[in-house]
A and B are shown apart, each in its own frame.
Chain A
Amino acid sequence: MSGQPNDYGDVMSGPTRETRLVEALVTLADTLVGGYDLVELMHYLVDVSVELLDAAAAGLVLADGTGQLDVLASTSERTELLEVLQIRTGRGPCHDCYTTGEAQTIRDVAAEAVRWPQFAPLALEQGFRSVHAVPMRHRERTIGALNLFRSEPGELAEADRRAAQALADVATIGILQQRAARETTEVNEQLEFALTSRVVIEQAKGILAHYGGLTMDDAFSHLRRYARNHRLALTGIAQELVDRQRTPTEILPSGAGVIPRDSNPPFRG
């Protein structure tokens, strides 16, 4: 459907297009509910945009945690080049869309040569005459932009604008949700490590202390020396000892004063 005239009704009947749009939204939602690969999702989003909307090409830029934009997906090398240019120069409709959080419409790229001396000529050279950029925004937070490039000058039809925004909105919520879940997982893992690593080391000391008839301090010294000599993480070795995947004999040097069993104190009450 790419590059079709603005009056898409001539090309594709309304219900069919609406049905396919619903299908696309359902596919997006399904993908987001299950596990998904972010890059694949972004490629789906640009492909479906070109398929369903009046656009010759589509591209997607996304900001990372530090606000640095990156081209995540595009339907052609041509749009990718245009977006990279905008990111590098910090100028162009997609970049404006990201920084303002508002949709940007460029009806005629040829008229923007003064405003964007680098972007406009390159876009024309690639065969694009108009651009519509849709923000990927959730409340006050904009994380990127979905950019639609057309070979004809003019505006995108209202129905297409709303469809593009709906696709971008669903993807945005999915991305934000995934980021939040990842941050939570990282924090939970750090917390788990902080709360359990010392426990595991104490347990490992106890194992070595009993096995070698050592004081806790000596047991710890052996554990630490072994870790350093083998360039292994102390907590990792301790965990292996506790999980009984590593034996005390591996850690303790042979002859490290193993107390004969009968020298242990008698069993008490």
Chain B
Amino acid sequence: MQAIRTGPLCEPCLRLLPVTGVAVSTLSGPIHADTVCATDDTAFGLEEMQFDLGEGPCWEAFASRRPVSVPDLWLPEQPRWPLFAEAVRKTRARAFFAYPLSVGATAVGVMDLYCSTPGALNGPAEHEAGVLAGAVAAELLNRVLSAEDVDLMGGANAGRPSPWRDHPQDRRAIHQATGMLMAQLDLPVGAAFARLRGRAFASGVTVADVAAAVVARTLMLNGDS
């Protein structure tokens, strides 16, 4: 399965752009978000934060198919993403740039860039980021589509992390925990996922943390909490 990868996706972008970190994620819906690669923990954490909160520049870039530029994350006027604006202050990111990854009319995900100092990308860097987003989108779409499908009857690749990912952490436990809550609380999938999300938000931890505890059966969410 490794053969489908033709090279790292994030590192070339980090080399070519005046940014602190880069992450690339596939997006398909609120539950179907997964980070393919990240150049550092902050870049990965910013993706997870946006997935957990269900808001942030990456979702806006993905939905609008246009780049979203936030030259200063600490500016108070970020009413577009109130939860993200607050949470991001605990990270070392000060500027954030989200580029939609699409090939023709097919949207596959986002490329997120962060800087540890505030400031907009200059003209050439902005242009370069747009060009790189196009190349990353094509490569990512190619990786995803050329990966062997999950074996219909459940072959060796089923139940494994998506083969197009480079990042070691995956979100499978979140989906497993979602399923456990569905069975335990007799909830549809969206509501079960919302319960995980709500618990994480209330406890100030990530959805992955809550999910890990649910899967390990050290945490049970009761029926009406």
Chain B interfacial positions (CB closer than 8 Å to A)? 26, 28-29, 31-32, 34, 103-106, 108, 141, 144-145, 147, 149-154, 158-162, 172, 175-184, 188-189, 203, 213, 215, 217-222
Contacts and interface: CB of A to CB of B under 8 A. Distances in A.
Contacts of A98: none
Contacts of A190: 145
A195 B159 contact: no
Given A235-B152, A268-B218, A195 B176 contact: no
Contacts of B181: 206, 210
Contacts, number: 141
B183 A228 contact: no
Nearest to B159: A220
Contacts of A224: 153-154, 158-159
B150 A203 contact: no
A117 to B, nearest CB: 46
A206 B145 contact: no
B188 A244 contact: yes
B104 to A, nearest CB: 6
B26 A207 contact: no
The dominant DSSP class at the A interface is helix
A210 B184 contact: yes
Interface in A175-222: 184, 187-188, 190-211, 216, 220
Interface in A222-242: 223-224, 227-228, 231-235, 242
A207 B31 CA distance: 16
Contact of A201 (B145, B150, B203, B213): B150
27 contacts: A187-B141, A188-B106, A192-B28, A194-B147, A195-B28, A198-B150, A199-B32, A202-B159, A203-B178, A203-B179, A206-B179, A206-B180, A206-B181, A209-B176, A209-B215, A211-B183, A224-B158, A227-B154, A228-B153, A235-B150, A243-B189, A244-B182, A265-B217, A266-B220, A267-B220, A268-B218, A268-B219
8 closest A-B pairs by beta carbon, nearest first, are A206-B179, A224-B154, A202-B175, A210-B183, A203-B179, A206-B176, A210-B180, A234-B154
A3 to B, nearest CB: 46
Nearest to B143: A194
Given A194-B145, A242-B179, A202 B220 contact: no
B176 to A, nearest CB: 4
Contacts of B153: 224, 227-228, 231-234
B179 A210 contact: yes
Given A231-B153, A234-B158, A243-B189, 4 more contacts: A199-B175, A203-B175, A204-B179, A265-B218
A198 B189 contact: no
A154 interface: no
A267 B179 contact: no
Contacts of B154: 220, 223-224, 227-228, 234
Contacts of B203: 269
Nearest to A197: B150
